[in-house]
Structure 1
Amino acid sequence: MLVDVPNGWREVFLEDILKPIARRELVRPSETYRLLGVRLYGNGSFLRETLLGSELSAQHLFMVKAGDLIYNKLFAWKGTFAIINEDHSGCFVSNEFPTFRPIYSSVTANYARRIIQLPRIADRANLVSTGTTSISRNRLNPKDFLRFPVVLPSQAEQLAIDNYLQAVEKTIEQRKSTILAISNAKKAVMRELLTKGGRRDQAPMWALKERWVFGRITEGVKAIPADWELVRLTSVAKLESGHTPDRKRPDYWGGDIHWLSLGDTEALDSLTIGETKEQVNNLGIQNSSARILPKDTVIFSRTATVGKASRLATPMATSQDFANWICGPEIDPRYLVQVFRHMGREWKRLQAGSTHQTIYMPTFKRLQILLPPIKEQQEIADMGEAFDLRIEAEKRALAELQNTRKALSQELLSGRLRLPKSMIERFEEKAGQAVSA
């Protein structure tokens, strides 16, 4: 026995539930075809590109249809397995992608998809992948793949498990839709507030005195409330860059000074940042260009995740991947965060770089923003933060649901957790039928 077999289940190999198929299809030179790739860790196939038949030899192409299982031989150890869905039926893969079809008398396509998404499948691929060169050292042979052991319940229980997990996944998708709806509502409301304020038509509007070139909230703004100004951001906030102390000097690291780096960029989704993954000490600060920034400094990610912005909840230093703004008395840092968060299209326009997209410091020096009176800035920030706090709460709930789904999937598909018999009996009539992905 290679794996633990729950009561009423059976131990099988993948060759017992999957049959190899090879459909070599000729693509004429004048025809186009869609070429697929596979995402990591069982996250499905994706459309890589659309090509002409003359661009790749038809001898190396295989057509796939809905329900087929494919994997990338070179990266199977990273979980590059997928069941083809209807949208990708009729697409092609190269000969680096072995293709299989579920044997429906043993397993449903959906259950097969769930099996290959399990982390232990990627772990086993990593264990048995072989090769003699740097390129092929992790290549997974299809014969080895088909000898992976799995445990399999009856088809009725397969259908019940799949149905149960689909219900959880539906809840996850509903939560994602809620987050998207709130985000879209925020964009619409904040676009008005950040260009017209809360008074809207009740406030007299004046034409812009100069062209708004860098830092636009939206295009087409030609007039603003009469008591607002269009100003150079550096005239109301001090721009600071970050720096990384020498990594070769361990005596610079591990102190009590928080140091914000790319590893912390997810934290910028929150309104404030108080903790970092790494810390430096005074010696590291003194021997680098980094400096300790005060509380409420506005932090902007200008490299890998361009556009994320937050405020410091406590004094800390940052890496050079951030543009940092110490706000003066004329601008509320909470307002500036909301401005930055609403400038997604503008940040994309201002990015540059041949290898990695970034926004260079000279660009920040040219940013212009609309500056309402400080009280109105605070009111606008209050509204934006109310949306953000709701979005943060929804994202936390989503993360909990996703973790629950992952844990349930592993427990149910291993048989360590069993569904009630009454739930399984509801699918007895459907058992034995071929169920497509």
Structure 2
Amino acid sequence: MTRARAALPGKLGEYFDNRQEPGRAGLPVMSVTQHDGLVLRETIDRRTESTLAPEQHLLVRPGDIAYNMMRMWQGACGLADRDAMVSPAYVVLRPKPNVDPTFAYQLFKSERVLHLLWAYSHGLTEDRLRLYFDDFSSIPLTLPELPLQRSIGRVLQHWDTAIAQAQRLGELRERRLYGLLAHLIGMHQSGPLEPGWSREELGSLSQFKSGGTPDRSRAAFWGGDVPWVSAKDLKSFDLATSVEQLTSEGAAKITRVKAGAVLILVPGMGLFKDLPIGVAARELTFNQDVKALLPRRGLDPRFLAYALKASRKTLMDRVDSAGHGTGRLATDVLEGLPITFPAPPEQQTIVRVLDAATQELRQVSRLVEALAKEKRAALQRLLPVDGFDHSADCSRVGALA
């Protein structure tokens, strides 16, 4: 078998030009995102109205790659699938005939190339780093020949398609969960009480506990087996572990709660986007950004947690700013929240239905994580750190296709 001819050492400027054509009236305006590539500006939450005329924007054409100069080293780039306009603060890469755009877009998401993009960005601090086209074009990188680029690009695109489909399924599962929450609990939260249902303020239904942080300079307090829940752990509804853990000695310095406590984030940047809530699945501790609610007898902890999720919009409307982009949910707001609840047997019936929907959503989330992990492994195998050995890459593509 004839060995594929190795590519000569090159630089990214040999594969891309800088497109600087002005935009045109009637074309959609798109923004670059870190995870979703190029998206319509009107679809993103942080959208701002542009005062620029169309010709003050930059034109992108199908196959172009636009990137955010300040975030390219974090993977903030997008592959255009249509004629469109982007901010003049972006750089638009026009691929030359020797590069496949789909392959290049995947390449710019790989760890090795992200490190190079960071190394060639300039700025006094990381939040000021910029990658201008001249610096981008000088990055030393040799790409495989075009047929192999296309093969690798197609293989990696399979994972993107699968991940996007799983994420869509996750969105549908989440919508179903919140629909059930609204139907089973939310519709009872205001208005006349139905037979068998009661309503009281949260402050009279549960005891509030505050968390804390043991002395970080004391090594004897950290690295044990007692969960210490913080904002990053409240992505899970059932809380059995945490990113950081305490020793028994460290846990003794702060509040410790038993299984069944309902935990809710009260100050945090994420409060403007969501209301993180979880239920302790075991005895644990928590930091000062979290409140623990200990339900009184006769109120199922999981029902209470779901009732809070059903009141998500009401509570998020009461979040105020604590400065520096941090949201704050005041304790008196929580204490005054009306909670409507049925007798314990009906609470448990509702919890079983909502637990099943939560489990379905959790399974899809795990599928998304597994597919993303598989793609990262494929990137590593197909885009090795030491450069492209074409004969080896051909066998890798065949194995992963």
Tell me: CA distance 1:124–1:360, structure 2 relative to 1, closer, same or farther (3 Å).
same
User: How many Å separate the matches in 2 of 1:315 and 1:330?
Assistant: 20
Cα 1:412/1:128, change in 2 over 3 Å: same
Gaps of 5+ in 1: 1-5, 195-216, 427-437
Q: Are 2:183 and 1:192 aligned?
A: yes
Q: Deviations over 1:277-299 (max 9, x none)?
A: 1326546754xxx4212221111
- In the TM superposition, what are the counterparts of 1:101-140 in structure 2 within 5 Å? 101-103=94-96, 105-130=97-122, 138-140=129-131
Aligned partner of 1:326 in structure 2 is 294
2:202 is aligned to: 233
Q: CA RMSD in A?
A: 3.5
- Evaluate the alpha carbon distance shift between residue 274 and residue 51 of structure 1 in structure 2; reply closer, same or farther with a 3 A threshold: closer
Is the Cα–Cα contact under 8 Å of residues 252 and 284 in structure 1 kept in the other structure? Answer: yes
Partner of 2:310: 342
Which one-letter code corresponds to 1:20 in the other structure?
N
Superposition map of 1:88-107 within 5 A? 89-94=83-88, 96-103=89-96, 105-107=97-99
Structure 2: gaps (5+ residues): 42-46
Q: Distance in 1 between matches of 2:377 and 2:396?
A: 18
CA distance 1:34–1:178, shift in 2 (3 Å)? closer
Q: Letter of the aligned partner of 2:179 in structure 1?
A: A
Calculate the TM-score normalised by the size of structure 2: 0.81
1:362 Cα deviation (Å)?
Answer: 0.9
Partner SS, residue 340 of structure 1: helix
CA-CA distance at 1:399 after TM superposition: 0.6
Partners of 1:421 and 1:360 in 2: how far apart? Answer: 55
Structure 2 counterpart of 1:377: 347
Matched, 1:315 2:283: yes
Could you tell me how far apart the structure 2 residues matched to 1:137 and 1:191 are?
A: 44
**Number of the residue aligned with 1:362:** 332
Deviations 1:283-324 (A, max 9, x none): 6754xxx42122211111223334222221222221221121
Aligned identity (percent) is 19
Of the two, which has the highest radius of gyration? 1
Deviation at 1:147, TM superposition (A): 2.6
2:44 matched residue in structure 1: none
> What is residue 261 of structure 1 aligned with on the other side?
230
After the TM superposition, which residues 32-431 of structure 1 pair with which residues of structure 2 at under 5 Å, given as runs? 37-40=31-34, 43-46=36-39, 47=41, 48-53=47-52, 58=56, 61-86=57-82, 89-94=83-88, 96-103=89-96, 105-130=97-122, 138-194=129-185, 217-218=186-187, 221-247=190-216, 253-254=222-223, 257-266=226-235, 269-279=236-246, 282=249, 285-286=252-253, 290-304=254-268, 305-306=270-271, 307-353=275-321, 355=323, 356-414=326-384, 417-418=393-394
- Farther-moved stretch of structure 1 (156-165 vs 321-330): 156-165
Q: Secondary structure at the match of 2:21?
A: coil
Aligned-partner Cα distance in 2 for 1:285–1:392: 32
Deviation readout 1:173-204 (Å, 9 max, x if unpaired):
2222222222222333332222xxxxxxxxxx
Which amino acid letter does the alignment assign opposite residue 319 of structure 1?
N
The separation in 2 between residues aligned to 1:153 and 1:276, in whole angstroms, is 40
Query: Offset of 1:402 from its aligned partner?
Result: 1.0
How far apart in 2 are the matches of 1:156 and 1:310? 50
Classify 1:74/1:274 alpha carbon distance in 2 versus 1 (closer, same or farther; 3 Å). Answer: closer
> Structure 1-normalised TM-score?
0.75
Match of 1:17 in 2: 15
Is contact 2:223–2:245 with CA below 8 Å preserved after alignment? Answer: yes
